[in-house]
Structure 1
């Protein structure tokens, strides 16, 4: 049985590099919006498939939306995000749900640091691959499926990207 990996970790992979380059052209607000929208559309259903009554990932996304709207303060949003991280830890025996919850938590954490949005790809694309192919699949197959998922994420980000964004993020990917 192949070892179940918790995330993609090849930062030099073309599908990760393409996302990183597009991320660098956008503002934190655009990245937050993208990561939360994508998480709600793709990651949250994967979580709910396994844990339909655990609302912590959904609550984290709601908290970010509330923070963006100015109806709650950052500490309140952070509390919901930390609860989502806890949900991911508690799902350690379910790679699909765990990776989906981690992707959601990282996406939500974009309100704190724009760099966190890459977690959507690193965890989320693997969640989609595990869901589609199973955890028994060979890594090469999983990575190909994850690369396709990252391609869909990139298309999604490009569709909402602000052309000539005046305030793009400045991310040091090495720190």
Structure 2
């Protein structure tokens, strides 16, 4: 099934999120995520989130919670902030979506919250992408979104490739919990789904 058929079916059901982790379009990226260390995923999400926060700020110029949450979560990833403060900041970004009616703003806010949540667990990273791609569909319109959505996904894939090739990334200052060797949770999910 073409990914547009999946999106149109979700839109007809009035789903807020037009993609899910099993969307045909996202499977190659999920497999790419599953091969990465937690640190690579966090670096990738934080770099992509800079763009998403700027886009949200363009829609809501007075809104500062997304920028503040990104700053707090960067410190959390370095071990300079505690999880309760980061969690509160992430929840404040999700609250933006609850306060707004515009589906683009709602999807962007959730995308940012999910991307920040990737610091806690890798499985949130794909949430950043599926919410952001939903925002792209809403912004461009269902009949004109194919190229924009595919370009955005390609951007995510390129950014992940970039971060996975960064030598010395693992030796930068990271929180102790990010440095621990453990299985990639996205890889475990994919294995269970097979």
Normalising by the residue count of structure 2, what TM-score does the alignment of the two structures yield? 0.75
CA distance in 1 between partners of 2:20 and 2:106 (Å)? 19
- Determine the structure 1 residue equivalent to 2:112: 104
CA deviation map 1:79-133 (0-9, x unaligned):
1001111112112x111111111100000001121100001210112223433x2
CA distance in 1 between partners of 2:146 and 2:131 (Å)? 12
- Determine the structure 2 residue equivalent to 1:170: 185
Q: Residue 167 and residue 151 in structure 1: after superposition, are their counterparts in 2 closer, same or farther (change >3 A)?
A: farther
Query: What is the aligned residue count?
Result: 166
Counterpart among 118, 130, 134 of residue 138 in structure 2: 130
Deviation at 1:145, TM superposition (A): 2.6
- Determine the structure 1 residue equivalent to 2:8: none
Q: Where in structure 1 are there 5+ consecutive unaligned residues?
A: none
- Determine the structure 1 residue equivalent to 2:3: none
Q: Where in structure 2 are there 5+ consecutive unaligned residues?
A: 1-10, 171-180
CA distance in 2 between partners of 1:72 and 1:12 (Å)? 33
Which has the bigger relative contact order, CA under 8 A and spacing at least 6? 1
CA distance in 2 between partners of 1:69 and 1:59 (Å)? 16
Normalising by the residue count of structure 1, what TM-score does the alignment of the two structures yield? 0.82
Q: Residue 58 and residue 143 in structure 1: after superposition, are their counterparts in 2 closer, same or farther (change >3 A)?
A: same
Q: Residue 73 and residue 79 in structure 1: after superposition, are their counterparts in 2 closer, same or farther (change >3 A)?
A: same
C-alpha RMSD over aligned residues: 2.5
Alignment of 1:30-49 (within 5 A): 30-41=40-51, 43-49=52-58
SS at match of 2:185: coil
CA distance in 1 between partners of 2:105 and 2:80 (Å)? 29
CA distance in 2 between partners of 1:158 and 1:128 (Å)? 22
SS at match of 1:71: coil
- Determine the structure 2 residue equivalent to 1:61: 70
CA deviation map 1:47-91 (0-9, x unaligned):
112211111111111111011122111111111001111112112
